[in-house]
Amino acid sequence: MPTPLGKDLTALEYLSADQIRLILDTAEPFKEVSERQIKKVPALRGKTIVNLFFEASTRTRISFEFAEKRLSADTVNVASTGSSVSKGETLVDTARNLEAMHIDMVVIRHHASGSAEFLGKRIRSSVINAGDGKHEHPTQGLLDILTLRDKFGKIEGLKVAICGDLLHSRVGRSNIHGLLKLGAEVAVCGPASLLPRDVESLGVTVIPHIEDAIQWADALNILRLQLERMTAGYIPSLREYNRVFGLTAARLDQAPKDLVIMHPGPMNRGVEIDSEVADGPHSVILPQVTNGVAVRMAVLYLLAGGAPDWAQGGGSE
Amino acid sequence: MSRPILLRGGRVIDPSRGSDGIADVLLQGGRIEAVGLNIIAPDGAQVVECAGKVVAPGLIDVHVHLREPGQEDLETVATGAMAAVAGGFTGICAMPNTDPVCDNQGVVGFVIAQAQRAAKARVFPIGAVSLGQKGQQLAEFGELVGAGAVAVSDDGKPVASSHLMRMALEYAKTFGIPVADHCEDPTLAAGGSMHEGIISTRLGLKGIPAAAEEIMVARDILLAELTGGHVHLCHMSTRGSVDLIRRAKDMGLKVTAEACPHHFALTHESCLGYNTNAKMNPPLREDLDREAIRQGLKDGTIDVIATDHAPHHYDAKEREFDDAPNGIIGLETAFGLAMSELVNTGLLSLPELLLRMSTTPARTFNLPGGTLATGAPGDVVVLDPAVQWVVKPDAFFSKSRNTPFAGRTLTGRADLTIVRGQVAFQRTS
């Protein structure tokens, strides 16, 4: 059955502005569900969802699981270790076997870019990308955008700087595509060794120095620096990274206005972001996590064929 | 003794002699007996009417992976040689990255024996540069050549050590063979799965920059100058490489180069949607690179068209992009792609194309064929330059199906392929 989002959610690059707005609007009433005494609605009762996590994940996996359970879906978690994957089964065989047990959706986190799209083309169930390699992490992008919308009221005209390791960041790509579609201006800021080739072709501007990004932006999204980037030779040291590119309180003090500070987690305190900033008054890092559940509920609900108006009304079936 | 064959009334193009016109070609005793007008068919001759067709020296592909010994589920010498004649090729050079590696006279002899048993296209083994293609110790070029190898290469891998490459070029001079190099700086290319550019940025895939190829092209050119040896640069893919080779040729160095149909037909945009049949090494590059390759073929900077025919199993390509192997098959689509992309676009004349696909490959690797001169080997192809056909991988003679050209309509293909004066392939449909 065609849904307003199509069969799968693999990348924000593939969505229209209207589809992104629909997800955000659908997420609004779902926020309230999580604040109830009984945190459950029957929207996905009888639906079976498999969470297929080939990479370690705490926040995203648990966020999806809460979203599924609060919508009354039946869920199964599969990790690569302790499953047939560790016996050499291919991704497509794993998924086809799961599908033979009549499932409705697969949420996949995988180390290979394109793996969610690959899977979506090969199985009938809906596929939701929970992070594919260095490509996209669309629900993270959506929850970041929802958090910005909560804060600023609208995305259009907003100046957002995404800072750090854009080269390896799926969060960065999803933010770029989603924000640009909704009319934001997006800049990227980080060492050139961690920016993708021709990154401007995505529609962003490059601001080489974080001091300049702070002057320019309304909001900063600070990406996690994977610690192995140092040993792989992309940067000389974590210490220097913090000194040159880290979001410190001293740098933030120079901002001409109050900036909103985001981080997708998990944070390396003292590397890309200082604790005073992460825990400070401008940080929306925990509201991001809260919004993650609502956005994922919206995505699951819409891909299961739920009508947008039901969610608006917040009623029962 | 095989029957004589008279190919009557075709457009006979022989780039080796610069001739092009309607004529008859008579093959007898495994050789070209005569080319001319109104040749009388000898008794018992098979007469083939070739009006509207092109008669040319058989195509020669200097870069093919036949997978035997070691991966016979992907291709064998016999199936590869059959795919070759179906594509109009009468001679193919087999790269040594088999299992075991073709780094000794035993494997060379085995490949030749398998080719004789198959009795389709001629197969010319290429020996390894280094033992086990490990890049450390030179293979025994003298014995390889003695057993029938026509060149050496560690293809699939670059010769990373400049010292080893220098020694290979020096040592190969004794035997008059080219050293064919897969140009790739391994540290720049490490972990990359497609061209580094705007598409890799969108897809979040690690790219291989053009400089990874060009650095090695530049190094090999400098080593050719140092040694006076013959370096043959495999599957050139970037505009920078074409510029470097053009300068080397201006200097009079013994540098030759090849380009593959996919590099003049496609760009990195084919990788969108994580299409693993567009994954190859060197990767598909940008429009400007494709254009430079085409110009290089026009002006002779690129000497030959070679397929880099690389069979892979369906399952291996049915993977996440990062995990899928590099390469596509090419023997059965090469001529159609070249006609469609180079000749019918007005870039090359048909004689110029046949120079790049037959005469020059033969000369570059010192192979028999590539000419219709009287007494030359009876390796001839009859091409239908105008037929339109749709690429259907299920109909391939190759054991493998990995091609990005499935469903594409091409113009031109081989109707009849004659090797050693005998029909090796005749199209029936």
Rounded-to-integer distance, Cα A56 and Cα A66, Å = 17
**Residue A41 exposure: Cα atoms within 13 Å on the Cβ side:** 24
* Rounded distance between C-alpha atoms, residue B13 and residue B296, angstroms: 22
Q: Does B117 reach chain A within 8 Å, measured CB to CB?
A: no
Residues of B with active-site annotation: 308
Position B363, amino acid:
R
B332: three-class secondary structure by DSSP? coil
Whether residue B46 contacts residue B89, with contact meaning beta carbons closer than 8 Å, is answered with no
Residues composing chain A: 317
The alpha carbon of residue A151 is apart from the nearest alpha carbon of chain B, in Å, by: 29
Distance, in Å, from the CA atom of B272 to the CA atom of A264, rounded to the nearest integer, reads: 27
Question: Could you give the dihedral angle defined by the CA atoms of residues B360, B364, B367 and B372, in that order, rounded to the nearest 10 degrees?
Answer: 20
Q: Closest chain B residue to A10 measured between Cα atoms?
A: B273
For the segment A6-59, what is each residue's pLDDT rounded down to a tens digit?
999 999 999 999 999 999 999 999 999 999 999 999 999 999 999 999 998 889
Q: Which residue has the tokens 């390894």?
A: B128
| 3-state SS, residue A144 | helix
A203-233 pLDDT, tens per residue?
A: 999 999 999 999 999 999 999 998 877 778 8
The answer to whether A55 contacts chain B (CB < 8 Å) is no
Using DSSP's 3-state secondary structure scheme, residue A78 falls into strand
- Is a pLDDT exceeding 90 seen at residue A63? yes
The phi and psi torsions of A215 (rounded to 5 degrees) equal: -65, -35
B90 neighbors B424 (Cβ within 8 angstroms) = yes
Window A:163-182, CB contacts with B under 8 Å? 170, 173
The answer to whether residues B100 and B87 touch, using CB atoms and an 8 Å cutoff, is no
Transcribe B61-90 into DSSP letters: EEEE---TTT-TTT--HHHHHHHHHHTTEE
Average pLDDT for chain B = 97
* Contact of A205 with A187, CB cutoff 8 Å: yes
pLDDT band at A307 (very low <50, low <70, confident <90, very high): low
User: What percent of chain B has a predicted confidence (pLDDT) above 70?
Assistant: 100
- Indicate yes or no: CB of B198 within 8 angstroms of CB of A201: yes
Q: Render pLDDT for A150-165 as a digit per residue (tens, 0 to 9).
A: 999 999 999 999 999 9
Instruction: Using CB atoms, pick whichever of B196, B273, B320 lies closest to residue A197.
Output: B196
Q: What is the DSSP letter of B343?
A: I
What structural domains does chain A harbor? 12-136+290-313 (3.40.50.1370), 138-288 (3.40.50.1370)
> What pLDDT shows up at residue A316?
39
Q: How confident is residue B397, by pLDDT bands cut at 50, 70 and 90?
A: very high
Choosing among 2.60.120.10, 2.60.34.10, 3.40.50.300, 2.30.40.10, the CATH entry for B5-55+377-426 is 2.30.40.10
Phi, psi dihedral angles at B282 (to 5 degrees): -65, 155
Distance separating alpha carbons of residues A253 and A255, to the nearest angstrom: 5
A213 touches A164 (CB < 8 A): no
Work out the minimum CA distance from B274 to partner chain A, whole angstroms.
6
Answer whether A250's CB lies under 8 Å from A191's CB: no
CATH number of B58-364: 3.20.20.140
Q: Examine the pLDDT at A180 and tell me if it is beyond 70.
A: yes
Q: What is the DSSP letter of B349?
A: -
The pLDDT value given to residue B1: 57
B272 and chain A: CB distance < 8 Å anywhere?
A: no
Q: Looking at residue A308, what is its pLDDT?
A: 58
Inform me whether the C-beta atom of residue A197 falls under 8 Å from chain B C-beta atoms: yes
Each domain of chain B, given as residue ranges in start order, spans: 5-55+377-426, 58-364
**Cβ burial B44-66 (10 Å sphere, 16+ → b, else e):** ebeebebeebbbbbbbbbbbbbb
- Nearest residue on chain A to B315, alpha-carbon basis: A90
Residues B350, B54 contacting (CB under 8 angstroms): yes
Question: How much is the CA Rg of chain B, to the nearest whole Å?
Answer: 20
Whether the ipTM is more than 0.95: the answer is: no
Q: Which has more confidence, A2 or B356? A: B356
Q: Is residue B154 within 8 Å of B128, Cβ to Cβ?
A: yes
pTM of the model: 0.94
CB-based burial, A220-236: b 16+ in 10 Å, e otherwise? bbbbbbeeebbeeebbe
Check if A8 contacts B (Cβ < 8 Å): no
Which stretches of B239-306 are assigned E, i.e. beta strand?
255-259, 304-305
pLDDT over 70 at A250, yes or no: yes
B318 vs A contacts (CB less than 8 Å): 90, 92
Please state whether beta strands A74-79 and A48-53 pair in parallel, antiparallel, or not at all (unpaired). Answer: parallel
For B178-210, the pLDDT digits (tens) are: 999 999 999 999 999 999 999 999 999 999 999
Residue reference for tokens 């080219």: B178
CA angle A202, A206, A207 (to 5 degrees): 155
Average pLDDT of B280-305? Answer: 98
Q: What is the pLDDT of residue A310?
A: 53
